[in-house]
Structure 1
Amino acid sequence: MNKILFYIFVCFAISGFSQNNLKSLLKKYNDESTPYIYVKQLKKQTVPPVLLDARELPEYKVSHLKNAIHIGYNTFKIENVQKKIPDKNTKIVVYCSLGIRSETIADSLKKAGYNHVQNLYGGIFEWKNNNLPIYNSSEKETDSIHAFSNAWSKWVKKGVKVYE
């Protein structure tokens, strides 16, 4: 019986540790100036928000959330968003690989007057890790996910990692 309890304890500890590592990573880079929305919350939305992908175009072409609008990070221009989303009361969720770049973009949107902006906690990696669908440039469901780099790919637990 003690071995079973020990095994259960180790499983919970490992599972909690990996979640805490993501939490620690995001705390290191983000100040939570834009509130997070978690994958399960986003999935349950009856009226889906506008999804903005704050990754670079090669990442977006490999994998993105359904109906997401590519806005980029290095190439981001608030004017492009304002043309596509003129209503400042539109519900918007910004995402990237993990939620770091997307916080910067979300902050820019808030400064431009957008009132309902959230940052996807864990980004597309967490979305895929929860077995939710992602799409390629042909808008076909794919198992490939752009993993950004070898260093950041450790956060991708599901799917086929692509680095192009």
Structure 2
Amino acid sequence: MAQPYPKLILKIEDALKKMLKGTVPVISTDQLADSINSRTDWIILDSRELAEYEISHLSNAIWVGHLDFSLSRVADITKDTKIAVYCSIGVRSENIAGKLLSYGFSNVWNVYGGIFTWANEHKTLVADNQQPILDVHGYDKNWAKLLGHHVNCILSK
């Protein structure tokens, strides 16, 4: 397997140390991938904007959005289900995970490093048809610098 980009992952960690509030438990991308591979039941929620999700996402992720997040998008999920929420690096997903906890969900985790770390570690991303893809929405030009060169960074759809 190709090696991850340690310098980029460290830059993401530095940003998270400054930006995360620490109000939600975190799960690493490796822990989540291991849980998925061992068939542990997780619901994975994508809290990026729809244009970001439509480019690529984690396999079987459910889009819930961020700015227009609505509890109705998670109405079919039982409150004790294991939920992992991700975004680009983990800031927006911490916000949505916090909302879920405040709504009574009891087993919610923020994916530390988000889809950027996932992609930088060469973990599988999929398009809407669930086929593997190397494209990731870079959010903006500054954040896109946190993606490895093997990733096709898309800034708009």
Q: TM-score, normalised by structure 1?
A: 0.85
Quote the residue 2:3 is aligned against.
none
Secondary structure in structure 2 of the residue aligned to 1:119: strand
How many residue pairs align between the two structures?
Answer: 148
State the distance in 2 between where 1:20 and 1:124 align. 15
Amino acid of the structure 1 residue aligned with 2:32:
L
Amino acid of the structure 1 residue aligned with 2:122:
N
Q: Which 5+ residue runs of structure 2 have no aligned equivalent?
A: 1-5
Distance verdict in 2 for CA 1:137–1:18, change over 3 Å: closer
Superposed counterparts of 1:74-153, under 5 Å = 74-81=67-74, 83-85=75-77, 87-153=78-144
Amino acid of the structure 2 residue aligned with 1:155:
L
Q: Tell whether 2:34 aligns with 1:34.
A: no
State the distance in 2 between where 1:22 and 1:76 align. 24
Give the deviation of 1:20 after TM superposition.
4.1
State the distance in 2 between where 1:59 and 1:21 align. 21
State the distance in 2 between where 1:34 and 1:49 align. 17
**Percent of paired sites with the same residue:** 35
Higher relative contact order structure (alpha carbons within 8 Å, sequence separation ≥ 6): 2
101-110 or 44-53: bigger deviation: 44-53
Residues 11-60 of structure 1 show CA distances to partners (whole Å, capped at 9, x for unaligned) of xxxx5x65443222112211111111001111111214100000011100
Q: Aligned-residue CA RMSD in angstroms?
A: 1.6
Match of 2:154 among 151, 156, 162: 162
Quote the residue 1:5 is aligned against.
none
Superposed counterparts of 1:17-96, under 5 Å = 18-45=8-35, 46=38, 47-81=40-74, 83-85=75-77, 87-96=78-87
Q: Which 5+ residue runs of structure 1 have no aligned equivalent?
A: 1-14
Amino acid of the structure 2 residue aligned with 1:75:
D
State the distance in 1 between where 2:121 and 2:41 align. 18
Q: TM-score, normalised by structure 2?
A: 0.88
Give the deviation of 1:71 after TM superposition.
0.1
State the distance in 2 between where 1:84 and 1:29 align. 31
